[in-house]
Structure 1
Amino acid sequence: MGNGRSAARGSEPTSKLVLASKWKGALSKVGVSLSSWCSGSFRTGGKYEQEQLLPVGMRAESLKHACTGWPFPRFISLFFPVFPYKSQHIDQEFQDIEFIARGSLGPILKVRQRTVEKTYALKVLLKAEVVRQGVLQQCKDAVVIQKQVLHPFVQGVRECWQTSRLLFIKCDYHHDGDLGRFWAAQKPLAEGRVRVFAAELGSAIGFLHDFGVIHRDVKMENVLLNERGHLILTDFGLSRRLWRGERASTICGTIGYMAPEVLRGSPYNHSADWWSLGILLYILIAGKFPVEPQDDHAAMLASVQRAHLPPPAPVSRSLDFLLAELLCADPQRRLHRLDAFSEHCFFHGLPFDPVLLQQLPLEPSQVAGDGPSLSQHPPHLFPDFDWEPLADSETPLAA
């Protein structure tokens, strides 16, 4: 959705993610730009993690001696224990490297693992950027959450590791792409399909909330389709765990999906995710945002407060009621619990057991395949690489 704008209070100018020379060949043949992967500096726990920043000299020294034995340089030990260290060169383990998507802090690549002959999605983060933007703990927490939360409609992490310069997060690869792409090809979606999608996402969100996890960026671009047409919630870059009674206060997410209390900067809890789900369902059935996204939080909040949210027509009365209960401006009155959600009249007769939901037959995606290849993108979409020189441009990527 071109109207969605990712945002976070205090965000810095878009940063550059730099890949070393061995991967330059894999991507530069199609002229892919890596100058705008990062979506700004997000905050965690109410303050920037400035204490994690390394002086430039120390950073260079850590990189220079990254292959030494124990004890590890600080630029490696910073990412322990979540990211174990590997000295193996990445091209020894993977082949057929292709760019497939943009994540919140770096590109997501399609790779084939040589040892098992299986295709995975591999998210690559430059450690210097993670530290410079102050999202070190946030990055580690997101991986821990995905490792702990095992659910059919939530994307887990298969493996994660670090080299001297990079972080790698390996997940299952779903070739049908994200829900936004599917919706653009299929719109408008039939209410029956929306009903199943709503049940699957509600099941995933409720499961996360039972573990205390708030996602904070529920949107179509963060929902994948598996080979059977069912949904997978992904991208936990803004998620965090809230303990009982705890509230978050960071303004973050995608502006068109943000709940009023998030836009306002008020303390908020898991209820904000249910508002985002309501926005997503409204778009699926109506083909547009209920409130057009604005350029900043204040303007967006004013638009939401002024807006009268008419039901998208034509829809059933039960779906109309569900949207009204999800898009309630008062988070205390908003539908925000899985038990109440699953018992809503819109889902009458639909099983909410994840195993049974997965068995529901869905029409195969009409946009199946890996999507447009890199070579099919117009050149102007991918200007020349922007490169930050490393100590030795011929040094292997994982050295």
Structure 2
Amino acid sequence: MGGDGSKNKASSSLVKRRSLSCHQGFLSVPAQLVHHGLFRRSGQCREYPVSEQSQPSDSNPEGPHANWTLPGFISIFLPEFPHRFTRQVDLQILGFIAKGSFGPILKVKDVSKEETYAVKVLPKAAVLRHGVLQQSKEEVIIQRQVRHPFLLSLRDCWQSQSNLFIMCDYCSTGDLYTYWTLKGLFEETDVRVFAAELGSALGFLHNFGIIHRDVKMENILLTDKGHLRLTDFGLSRRLERGERAFTICGTIQYMAPEVLSGGPYSHAADWWSLGILLYALATGEFPLAAEVDHAVMLSRVSEGLYEMPVSLSPALAFLLIELLCKIPTRRLRCLEHFQSHKFFHGMSFDSQLLQRNPIEPILALKTHPDLRERSMRGLSLDLLQNFECDLLNSPSTPTDLSPTLMKIQVNEYKTESQTKATGTNSA
């Protein structure tokens, strides 16, 4: 994830104005703030957002009470991540879904609601060490604001002593990349549905002034009927029409040439990523193999030709040519033009109609004998051996779960197929 150091400094200044320096917060922790466990989201829960702590009250016109000031390592993540206190825990950890950029993604059950969710864990130390404080806040701000049938919905977010937590809907089927590796390639009738759903999601985000910046198969989860939910807003940011970004970030195999070069780039970069994804779904391979270095990848993308296999229909080939145009201003980059393309002739973009029929190849692969192994993609729980999750000391958590994630029963597997490349430029 790409962060802006100047914004982080502004956040630190805010903490200092409350006489709660970050350094002091880490060295001195009031005993009443040290609480391990997952915090209940109910009427019994006490939250302390910044506005409540910084605004004067009638009983205390000078501001926060001197005996109840929050340490810097809590205040700096407010108000986006509320800090909560409760006597009872409602979330039970069921398993491990994936390894995120900084911490695990867990499968949890809300015992009171009998609902299952996915919780992304972000260690505070890693967030501050990598300078992505503002980006982490932006991630939840964006997810709170957007609601769309083909976007994964945010359910809650909060902080504990050591970690940040982002809770979203749980998709039990898995991610698109796993099924692509099993299937090899999809028929154009299925590619058409995937394209319509993902294009609708991107068009919605762009019209809302948001660029995703990491569109790829691994970030597309599937419902029980095989339909799409775009997830992972860790690299997303607000970008109004006409504005430009410069951070080199995303997954290198999906990056548009203008992103690889360090910008400037705009929402058109997401449409390039969509083109790469659709090409892979329809042909069974990426147009270019991934390179470790973004400069080498830029050279290959700039000099290479994207030849369309003769197996593709003329309509799909023409759509991919327009999406993979190397000049952003000439690229297909508008939802209205996307919907009117010949490839979608006679197709409705209504979300309910798109989801009415299941994607049969996805359902057929759910019982594939290699599904579990493919979804893991070489991930080992050894990577999480020393990861301390201060949410596991819970009476609702099964007794076989220790304070480390090594003893979590593995019910789901999912991880990144390529390393996210991030730059140091301004976003």
Q: TM-score range by the shorter chain?
A: 0.7 to 0.9
Partner residue in 2 for 1:383: 382
Mapped to 2, the partners of 1:255 and 1:70 lie a distance apart of 47
Partner residue in 2 for 1:127: 124
Say whether residues 1:160 and 2:119 are aligned partners: no
CA contact (8 A) 1:247 1:267 kept: yes
Partner residue in 2 for 1:75: 73
> Which of 319, 322, 327 is matched with 2:324 structurally?
327
Single out whichever of 58-67 and 192-201 deviates more from structure 2: 58-67
CA contact (8 A) 2:175 2:222 kept: yes
Partner residue in 2 for 1:229: 226
Matched AA of 1:277: L
For residues 35-89 of structure 1, the C-alpha deviation after alignment (integer angstroms, 9 at most, x for no partner) is xxxxxxx333586735657765541324766249843222111111111112347
Counterparts of 1:14-163 in structure 2, within 5 Å, are 42-45=1-4, 49=8, 58-62=25-29, 66-67=33-34, 70-88=68-86, 92-163=89-160
Counterparts of 1:302-317 in structure 2, within 5 Å, are 302-317=299-314
Structure 1 residues 320, 350: closer, same or farther in 2, change over 3 A? same
Give ranges in structure 2 of 5+ residues lacking alignment.
13-20, 36-66, 396-402, 404-427
Give ranges in structure 1 of 5+ residues lacking alignment.
1-41
- TM-score, normalising length: structure 2: 0.75
Structure 1 residues 63, 345: closer, same or farther in 2, change over 3 A? farther
- TM-score, normalising length: structure 1: 0.80
Mapped to 1, the partners of 2:333 and 2:184 lie a distance apart of 27
Single out whichever of 318-327 and 186-195 deviates more from structure 2: 186-195
Counterparts of 1:246-395 in structure 2, within 5 Å, are 246-363=243-360, 364-368=362-366, 372=372, 381-383=380-382, 387=386
Matched AA of 1:239: S
For residues 124-148 of structure 1, the C-alpha deviation after alignment (integer angstroms, 9 at most, x for no partner) is 1111211221111111111111111
Matched AA of 1:365: L
> Which of 163, 173, 176 is matched with 2:173 structurally?
176
Matched AA of 1:382: L
For residues 178-210 of structure 1, the C-alpha deviation after alignment (integer angstroms, 9 at most, x for no partner) is 000111122221111001000000000000000
Matched AA of 1:381: S
Matched AA of 2:119: L
Structure 1 residues 171, 390: closer, same or farther in 2, change over 3 A? closer
Mapped to 2, the partners of 1:323 and 1:71 lie a distance apart of 56
Partner residue in 2 for 1:213: 210
Look up the SS of the partner of 2:296 in the other structure. Answer: helix
Matched AA of 1:130: V
Mapped to 1, the partners of 2:134 and 2:108 lie a distance apart of 27
Structure 1 residues 80, 251: closer, same or farther in 2, change over 3 A? same
CA contact (8 A) 1:217 1:253 kept: yes
Structure 1 residues 134, 62: closer, same or farther in 2, change over 3 A? farther
CA contact (8 A) 1:62 1:75 kept: no
Structure 1 residues 287, 246: closer, same or farther in 2, change over 3 A? same
For residues 107-126 of structure 1, the C-alpha deviation after alignment (integer angstroms, 9 at most, x for no partner) is 11111111111111111111
Mapped to 2, the partners of 1:343 and 1:118 lie a distance apart of 39
Q: CA RMSD in A?
A: 3.0
Single out whichever of 288-297 and 193-202 deviates more from structure 2: 288-297
For residues 284-342 of structure 1, the C-alpha deviation after alignment (integer angstroms, 9 at most, x for no partner) is 11111101111111100100111111113401000000000000000000000000000
CA contact (8 A) 1:285 1:312 kept: no
Mapped to 2, the partners of 1:395 and 1:315 lie a distance apart of 54
CA contact (8 A) 1:52 1:134 kept: no
Mapped to 2, the partners of 1:118 and 1:369 lie a distance apart of 24
Matched AA of 2:70: F
Mapped to 1, the partners of 2:352 and 2:388 lie a distance apart of 50
Structure 1 residues 119, 303: closer, same or farther in 2, change over 3 A? same
Mapped to 1, the partners of 2:131 and 2:22 lie a distance apart of 13
Aligned identity (percent) is 50
Matched AA of 1:61: S
Q: Which has the larger radius of gyration?
A: 2
Look up the SS of the partner of 1:185 in the other structure. Answer: helix
Mapped to 1, the partners of 2:10 and 2:210 lie a distance apart of 25
